[in-house]
Amino acid sequence: MFSFVKLALVIPLALNVRAQRPDSTSICDYYTTALLKDNNSTNQYTLLTLLVNTAVIGNYTSNPGSMVAVPGILNPNGTVDGKKVNLVPYFSGALSSSNVNDVATAVNWLDDGGAAPLMANKPANGTSSNQYTLLTHLYSYFGGALGCTQYGKDKFPAYSGSGSQYSVHKYMALSNAEVTYFITQVGLSAKSFGVSDADVTSVGSLLTNTFGQRCAKPAPVIPDQGNQLQSICTENDCPQADGGDCSAYAAVNEPVSSTATATSPANQASSTSGGGSSSGSPNAAVEIKPLSIFSLLATMLVACL
């Protein structure tokens, strides 16, 4: 496991890796080498674990190193252009917003430790939960999207979820502010580890153009999954993609508050989320532990490097 000691060494190194990346080297490969030295499958997967976990829960090391503050996707007090954003209900099972067998379903995706295992550089406490499925899918998905050359090899499992992110998110009715907030957290996470402004912009543009526009034409993200509908920004305030085909997308229905027990999509063949076997109350308290005092100080000392 990637230890806190190693993480404490990696983050200060992030301040020194903002050199120009060669066009012939993928973002994943370049920053794996810059931060973790050996560009192998284990280190590439570690890099994606660090980037995704930080995007999800915000800065979590006790040695801030980078002064780039990452509030985190699970921060209930997010804002975009003055608009309040709270994505937690989509993850906690408080809304019937997950697509399970093409039915809007309440699923608790934080059912195996919440933030605590992420702060230990893990996806979850165990390996059979919704949370484990979600986080490991994110590691692999972003690894494929960012051009990790060890993706699908040895210690870097290939993405095994749905090829259509529209299908995954169709019952969430996400707004422009919500999708923008999500993408911004990914960019801030990358920047906190020393990814250059040019590469952060490149990643942000990729995510926005692929997922952040209504009615976008089918496009590939994971090469072997082919062209798929990818728009997750479906509300009317989302910008419409050039040449988009809105007839390919279903009418948008707002997710309803869940009062039933959140389910697990495990062992359901057409589920968009894959494995996972734990279930829990959608309104149960989600364990989002506070960051250390050092990380809180870091979030107050934002520096746009």
**Can you give the pLDDT at residue 162?**
97
Mean pLDDT (the chain) is 83
| DSSP conformation class of 85 | E
**Can you give the pLDDT at residue 219?**
96
Taking the C-alpha atoms of 95, 108, 205 and 68 in order, what is their torsion angle to the nearest 10 degrees?
110
State the pairing for strand pair 78-80/103-105. unpaired
pLDDT at residue 225 is higher than 80? yes
Angle value at C-alpha 117, between 294 and 52, nearest 5 degrees: 80
Query: Which one is predicted more confidently, 272 or 18?
Result: 18
**Can you give the pLDDT at residue 60?**
87
Show the DSSP H helices in the chain as ranges.
Answer: 4-14, 27-36, 41-57, 88-92, 115-119, 130-145, 165-169, 176-192, 197-211, 293-300
**Can you give the pLDDT at residue 111?**
97
152-169 mean pLDDT: 97
Q: What is the CA radius of gyration of the chain?
A: 18
**Can you give the pLDDT at residue 66?**
61
> Structure pTM?
0.82
Task: Indicate the pLDDT class of residue 123, thresholds 50, 70 and 90.
Answer: very high
**Model pLDDT for residues 65-119, shown as the tens digit of each residue:** 567 999 999 999 999 999 999 999 999 999 999 999 999 999 999 999 999 999 9
**Can you give the pLDDT at residue 67?**
74
Task: Indicate the pLDDT class of residue 191, thresholds 50, 70 and 90.
Answer: very high
Q: From residue 180, how far is each of 59, 70, 204, 213, 232 by CA, in Å?
A: 19, 14, 9, 10, 11
Query: Which one is predicted more confidently, 293 or 130?
Result: 130
Name the residue type at position 170: K
**Can you give the pLDDT at residue 38?**
97
**Model pLDDT for residues 9-33, shown as the tens digit of each residue:** 454 444 445 568 999 999 999 999 9
**Can you give the pLDDT at residue 184?**
98
pLDDT at residue 222 is higher than 50? yes
**Can you give the pLDDT at residue 291?**
34
**Can you give the pLDDT at residue 94?**
97
Nearby residues of 202 by Cβ (< 8 Å), 6 or more positions away? 27
pLDDT at residue 4 is higher than 70? no
**Can you give the pLDDT at residue 279?**
34
